[in-house]
Each structure stands twice: as C-alpha cells, then as structure tokens.
C-alpha cells in the first residue's frame, strides 16, 4: 500500500518517496496517477434523504478513540456498592450531570458532564481489539481481521466514508484546502513495536483515495513511564504523559520533513520535479490539463490552511496549557482547529506507544497507569475540548464521540497494580454536540457493570447516529470496488433518536 501521508520517508513497500517517484516515472506513474488510481472509478449518487429535526446538524465530527478501551467502572458507570474486587480502589465524585458520578481522577470532566449524553449500555459479542468493528459497518470480526488491515472482509472507516460521500455529493470537495478525513497524532498503530499493525481506520473497498490523512507529530516527550507486557517491564519517554511546549503537527505528505519548515521556493522546486517526471514519460503533457488528482497532490503539499490549523503553537499559551501539554491534549486542540478550518471528520487516536498492549489496554498495572498516565491527560484534554467548543459556539454544530473497542472486566485480575481484561458485554461511551441531548444518561447495567439491563446499544447504532447527524442517510449505498455492486452504508444499526434532543 502506498502511504502518501505517512510519517517516514520510506514507504511501506520499502522504497523511499523519491525512489518511488523515479521508478514511477519510468513506469508511467506519478503522484497524481497514484491518487487517480486510488480513486473509486464508479460514481454514484449518495442518495441522502433529509428527515428529522437534527438530521445534518453536525457540520463536523471529532472522534476521540481510546485504543485498548477504558473501564466503564472507572469512567462514568461506577459501582461503589459492589464488592471490592469489582469496585476497586478509586471512588466516585459528583458531576454536573445529576445521577452520573464519575471517577475521582476526572475532576475537569466532572464539570462538563451536563453537556454530554452518557451511553452506559453499549454491547457486542467481540471482546478483541476490534477498532474496525467499532468504526466501520463490518458485521463480524475475528482476531485474524484485527491483525490484518488488508483483509478483504473489512469495511471502510467512518472518516473514509464521510469523505467519500462528501465527494459524491459535491466533486468540489476533492479540492478543499483542508481534507475531510484527518487523523492524529501519527499513522495508526505505527509507534509500537513487536507486532503487525492493527486494522481499523482504512478505506477498504472504497479505495486508497479515501484513506485518512494521518498527521506527523513534531515534538519531544519530557516525561517517562514504565510499562509492562507479559511480565516484561520497560521505561519509555511517553508523549501521552508530557511533551515540550513547542510541539506541533503537520500533514505527513512530505515524509519526515516538517511542512512548516518547507519554503515556497522549495515547494516550487518539488512541483518542478513532478512536472519533469511527467514530461519524462513522453506520454502526454498534463501540466495544463486541469487534472484534478494532480492538483490534489500539489494542494496537499501547499495548503496553508492545513499547515496553520495543525500548528498549535499559534494558540495563546493559556489555551495550550488548558488542553494540557500531552500528546492527547494537543491533538484535541489541533482537532478543534481543523474543524474550524473546515474539515468534516477529524479523529484523535489515543494509540499504543512503545510497547504493544499499551494505550488503555490495562491488563497490568491498572491503577498506577490510570493515576499517572491515562486519566490525567484524558481528563484535561477532553474537558477542555468540550468547554472550548461550547465557549466558541461550535458545540451545537460539532459532534464529539468518545469511543473504544469494548469495556473491561468487572472483576479485577490478580496482576500487580490490578488489571482488568477485555469485556464487550457492557461498556460506556460519551457523546456531545450537534443535536446530542445535554445532560442525559442512556442505558443501564447490572450491579457490577457487567451486563446491560436496559436499552442495549450496538456500536453500529452509534455509527448510524453519527451519519444521521452529519446529514447522511444510514441506508445510503456505497460502491464496493471488489464486486462493482452497491452495498449499504451500514448493514445494521439504528439511529439513537432517544440520545437526541
């Protein structure tokens, strides 16, 4: 797969970008051709039908995906009356949402809960790291699919689908200076070692033209943390715990070279190189052809709007401090700036870093990691994002979703520092903005937070609700490039109308 927007200069095929361009010229291919080849050759009307008070209210969506999955019992479905081996050592605190206490490690979040809908009854049958199941229309998933992004059974990521539908609705969307499908802080599953990449945020049968535009993080971690995997302990400089204040992001189009450090003169020379390579083909001169894919390639290199939106150093110091100088906090700030600049769908992944089995996958050292690594950064970044959007008058038109693959076991295991394992029978997600009810709890679990006893919700219901608020009928057909046939946007799932209001 060609990673146009990856972090490193070397593509996943093993060739550098310049080597690929050189070989591509000899073979009759250019960067613009790559974009063209990745595009879906079949065009079809999105077939969106409006309906309902909140249909299409979301001008944009920010998806916060906590990879590895937080525990519902330490988020917003605490069970203080449960046995010690279930409730654990953390205590609830009151929030601004009556009847919905939150974990004591979330003091900032406790103050914005009245702006959210808390869904406590999400459930499905796959307790694996199914990022693809949580964020696509695929009806089933297994471990083989989880560890194989190229598996032909996968369906397109919601951000990819939104970008596709936008371009079907308006071909001019392809030429937007700020893309509609951007993912932070770096290519998914790229900063851990020892295992193959995880499946999830990929375009599947829509084609690589609709892959997320992953950013590149420029900064230095200034705090360290010790992590455990299968009994092995290792200490890392951990950007999710702390980063230097001069950190920022760029789109990864230019490989490892920071876009902010590229002068327009150098960009002109890069465009000249592209033109020379095309001329070397001697097939036809495309320089003045108005080729949309060639122009898209150059626009991604030269977009001032994207570069400025991702440069969080432009924000006042107080605002940056508000979000917190962590990788997650500054990614949330960049996400707000991107939707302000016009992107329809922005994803912030709290991803694994260093060791596999990290992120929110707390099989080991559950409580030390919650206290010192996970909860402080999430609390500050998430609460600031919601409050900032509200203060700027953007929350009513920006959907914010906090999702994960599953929840965690009600009963603690016997690992040092405690541990909770995978659990998909019941877990919690957080929703806000763009028609989502303010100050509501949807669904209920049993006395140990292990089973849904009222209003079960599928991950597909959450996706259907997001599409609906973004103005897309969940029954919209997509074109499956594998078969050339239309398939439904979501084979299953219903809009959560009771979460709207």
For 49-65, the pLDDT digits (tens) are 356 889 999 999 999 99
What structural domains and CATH numbers belong to the chain? 17-474+484-499 (3.40.720)
Q: Which residue has the tokens 């989502």?
A: 436
What mean pLDDT comes out for the span 148-166? Answer: 94
DSSP state of 199: P
What is the predicted pLDDT for the residue at 275?
Answer: 52
Tokens representing 224? 């360290």
Other CB atoms within 10 A of residue 37 CB: 14
pLDDT of residue 81: 95
β-bridge mates for residue 273, sequence order: none
Burial (CB count <10 Å: 0-12, 13-18, 19+), residue 16? middle
Q: How confident is the model at residue 297 (pLDDT cuts 50, 70, 90)?
A: low
pLDDT band at residue 192 under the 50/70/90 scheme: confident
Q: What are 85's two structure tokens?
A: 């081996």
* pLDDT one-digit tens code per residue, 136-145: 999 999 999 9
What is the per-residue pLDDT for 281?
Answer: 47
Average pLDDT, the chain: 83
Specify the residue for token string 């990788």: 327
At 255-266, the pLDDT tens digits run 232 333 333 344
pLDDT at position 300, please? 58
For the segment 386-401, what is each residue's pLDDT rounded down to a tens digit? 999 999 999 999 999 9
pLDDT in tens, 467-500: 999 999 988 889 888 888 899 999 999 999 999 9
User: Which pLDDT does position 230 carry in this prediction?
Assistant: 75
Angle between helical axes of 459-469 and 158-169 (0-180°, round to 10):
30
pLDDT band, very low/low/confident/very high, at 302 (cuts 50, 70, 90) = low
Nearest C-alpha neighbor of 434 from the set 500, 483, 388, 371: 500
Average pLDDT over residues 235-252: 92
- The Cα–Cα gap between 4 and 213 comes to 8
Which comes out higher in pLDDT, residue 437 or 304?
437
Residue 157, C-beta contacts closer than 8 angstroms, at least 6 positions apart: 132, 135, 136, 200, 201, 202, 203, 204, 212
Q: What percent of the chain has pLDDT over 90?
A: 65
């Amino acid at each position: 797969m060609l990673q146009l927007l990856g972090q490193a200069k070397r593509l996943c095929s093993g060739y550098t970008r310049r080597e690929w361009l050189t070989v591509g010229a000899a073979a009759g291919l250019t960067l613009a051709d790559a974009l063209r080849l990745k595009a879906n050759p079949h065009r079809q009307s999105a077939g969106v039908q409006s309906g309902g008070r909140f249909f299409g209210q979301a001008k944009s969506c920010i998806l916060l995906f906590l990879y590895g999955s937080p525990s519902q019992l330490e988020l917003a479905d605490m069970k203080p009356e449960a046995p010690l081996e279930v409730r654990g050592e953390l205590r609830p605190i009151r929030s601004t949402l009556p009847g919905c206490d939150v974990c004591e490690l979330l003091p900032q979040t406790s103050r914005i809960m009245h702006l959210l809908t808390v869904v406590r009854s999400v459930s499905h049958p796959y307790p694996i790291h199914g990022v693809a199941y949580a964020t696509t229309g695929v009806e089933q998933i297994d471990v083989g699919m989880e560890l194989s992004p190229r598996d032909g059974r996968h369906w397109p990521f919601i951000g990819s689908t939104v970008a596709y539908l936008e371009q079907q609705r308006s071909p001019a969307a392809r030429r937007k200076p700020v893309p509609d499908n951007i993912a932070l802080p770096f290519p998914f599953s790229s900063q851990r070692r020892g295992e193959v990449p995880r499946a999830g945020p990929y375009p599947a049968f829509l084609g690589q033209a609709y892959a997320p535009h992953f950013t590149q993080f420029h900064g230095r971690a200034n705090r360290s943390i010790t992590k455990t995997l299968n009994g092995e302990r290792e200490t890392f400089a951990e950007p999710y715990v702390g980063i230097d204040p001069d950190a920022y992001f760029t789109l990864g189009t230019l490989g490892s070279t920071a876009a902010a450090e590229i002068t327009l003169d150098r960009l002109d020379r890069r465009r000249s190189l592209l033109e020379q390579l095309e001329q070397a083909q001697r097939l036809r001169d495309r320089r003045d052809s108005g080729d949309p894919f060639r122009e898209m390639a150059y626009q991604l290199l030269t977009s001032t709007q994207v570069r400025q939106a991702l440069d969080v150093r432009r924000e006042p110091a107080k605002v940056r401090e508000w979000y917190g100088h962590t990788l997650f906090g500054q990614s949330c700030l960049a996400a707000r700036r991107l939707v302000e600049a016009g992107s329809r769908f922005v994803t912030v992944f709290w991803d694994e870093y260093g060791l596999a089995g990290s992120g929110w996958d707390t099989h080991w050292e559950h409580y030390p990691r919650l206290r010192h690594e996970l909860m402080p950064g999430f609390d500050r970044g998430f609460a600031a994002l919601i409050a900032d959007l509200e203060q700027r008058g953007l929350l009513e038109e920006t959907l914010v979703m906090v999702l994960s693959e599953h929840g965690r076991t009600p009963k603690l295991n016997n690992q040092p520092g405690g541990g909770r394992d995978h659990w998909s029978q019941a877990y919690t997600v957080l929703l806000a903005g763009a028609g989502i009810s303010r100050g509501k709890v949807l669904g209920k679990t049993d006395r140990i937070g292990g089973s849904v006893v009222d209003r079960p919700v599928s991950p597909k219901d959450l996706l259907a609700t997001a599409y609906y608020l973004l103005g897309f009928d969940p029954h919209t057909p997509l074109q499956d490039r594998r078969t050339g046939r239309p398939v439904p946007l979501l084979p299953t799932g219903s809009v959560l109308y009771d979460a709207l209001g």
